[in-house]
Amino acid sequence: MNILYDEKNKVILGRHYLIEAGNVIVNKVIYRPTLEMFTKFYNIIKDKPWFSKYNFIVVGSFPNIMNNNKLWETWDVDINVSSNSSKIDYNEIKIVLNECSRVALEECDFYLEIYFNFNNDFPLLHVNKYKDDGVYTGLCYEHKLDILSHLLYVKRDNKIVTQWPEGEEIIEGLWKRHLDVPSEKQLYRRIHKLYYDSPIDIKEYFK
């Protein structure tokens, strides 16, 4: 396995993987996401015909990197997609999720965790709650978040690496699942005073 290692900072920057994520299959080096990679990703998807119809909110670890406030390393970017429309177009949502996943892996060389969220109130669903300076500092209530995912599973080097419940297939290639918030990993970081930055709306961030 090819590994790119940063000797100075003692961190792995990338690994060669065979990744199967739905109909997207890549066999190459996948990197830890950087702001430069993510900017390239944004510049590609912002010109897609469906981009203006949806909200794209970065959650999890990557907002810390976007704010130059990295407290730990991450291998992916997490994006919640939502719509302000009361009408849910499942076929278009599947296209949005598939295309964003494809662009990230094939064109930008990082892994994207993306799903459609029926609830637009992202901060209240995150592991922590706001403090006056905009940094999450306290645990919110447990929440089961209803999401739509375009992936039944993800394989890395021919092994399934996801542990999602199968959920309900709404249309072919689109599953409805429940996401538990906060996760065990998020709780662990909070206990050790490793705080998540606020979710970031990418349209606001790049405007």
Range of weakest confidence among 30-34, 88-92, 176-180: 176-180
- pLDDT tens-digit series, residues 115-155: 999 876 554 434 444 444 444 444 444 566 789 999 999 99
- Residue closest to 110 by CA, chosen among 166, 149, 58: 58
Backbone angles phi, psi at 37, to 5 degrees: -60, -45
pLDDT of 169: 95
pTM of the predicted structure, to 2 decimals: 0.86
- pLDDT tens-digit series, residues 160-169: 999 888 889 9
5 pLDDT band, cuts 50/70/90, is confident
pLDDT of 122: 54
Q: Is 72 left (phi over 0), alpha (psi -120 to 50) or beta?
A: beta
